[in-house]
Amino acid sequence: IKLEIKKAEPIEVKPQIKEDPLAKFRKPKAEEKPVFKEPKLELFKKEPEINEEKISVSEEIKSSVSDRNEDIPPFSVIGQIFATYIIAESGDEMLLIDQHAAHERLKYEELIRELAEKKLYPQVLLEPVIVSLNGSEMAEYTKNAEILAQFGFENEEFGEREIIIRTSPLDVEWADVESLFLELLTKCSSGRKEVISDKFQRMIYTIACKAAIKANHVLTKAEMEKLVYEVLSLPNINTC
């Protein structure tokens, strides 16, 4: 009897994994994220550079200002904001200047000086302005035509109730001539019972306001320096 002996093949035994009956009720573990350490940064504070050198006002600007104050402190124009205010520094002080109010004050002082010296120089209008008046305005014009001429309005009657204006105070824009003329007529009327100097003062203020630089007007650096220098040159210039 022949016996055939075969080698038995190895049986792979898989490990039995016991299921956790509560696994479905457990919260899954959050995956751990790698932690990165931020490098330490050394910050160095840079000291601000202080410019001790002030911008000197040109001799041209100085020579253009008559009767200037020689004790004007050095200043530096920083710039302009809202096209209305000028920022400047002088020593450890900051100057905030309303360009319209400042220029109005300068024009007022200029008009006062020119009227006192009888050297008021009007500007010739390329196109004359014709103003229509009502009855009361025409009557007021007849009374004050000479006064208006002293302020630079070369005028004459042009029809029944119209006035033609050929010159106006210096620096007044053509578009403002008619409104300024009518406003001055109103001030002449309201000042009939007052002394003439008071009436002149109100008229001068009105002309200076119309001739001054307006708000929302962009100025160059040179124009700002000139304006600040002229303002600081005025005596007792605390307000405009």
Instruction: Note the pLDDT tens digit of each residue in 98-121.
Output: 999 999 999 888 888 877 776 778
pLDDT tier at 151 (50, 70, 90 boundaries)? confident
pLDDT at 69 over 80: no
Average model confidence (pLDDT) for the chain? 76
pLDDT at 62: 56
Q: Which helix (H) or strand (E) holds 89?
A: strand 85-90
Question: When comparing pLDDT for 230 and 23, which is higher?
Answer: 230
CB 95 within 8 A of CB 228: yes
Output the six-digit token pair for 179: 């409104």
Average pLDDT over residues 91-101: 92
Give the whole-angstrom CA distance, residue 90 versus residue 64: 22
- What pLDDT is recorded for position 73? 81
Q: Is residue 218 very low, low, confident or very high in pLDDT (cuts 50, 70, 90)? A: very high
Which residue in the block uniquely carries the two structure tokens 């600040």? 228
Residue 216 has pLDDT above 50, yes or no: yes
Taking residues 31-58, what's their average pLDDT? 48
- pTM of the predicted protein model: 0.56
Sheet holding 162-168, edge to edge: 123-132, 162-168, 155-157
Q: Report the pLDDT value the prediction gives residue 8, as an integer from 0 to 100.
A: 57
- To the nearest whole percent, how much of the chain has pLDDT over 70? 64
Report in angstroms the alpha-carbon separations of 72 from 102, 103, 128, 151, 166: 16, 18, 42, 32, 40
Tell me what pLDDT residue 61 has. Answer: 56
26 or 50: which leads in pLDDT: 26
85-90 β-sheet, strand order: 76-81, 85-90, 93-98
Q: Residue 129 has what pLDDT?
A: 94
Q: What percent of the chain has pLDDT over 90?
A: 29
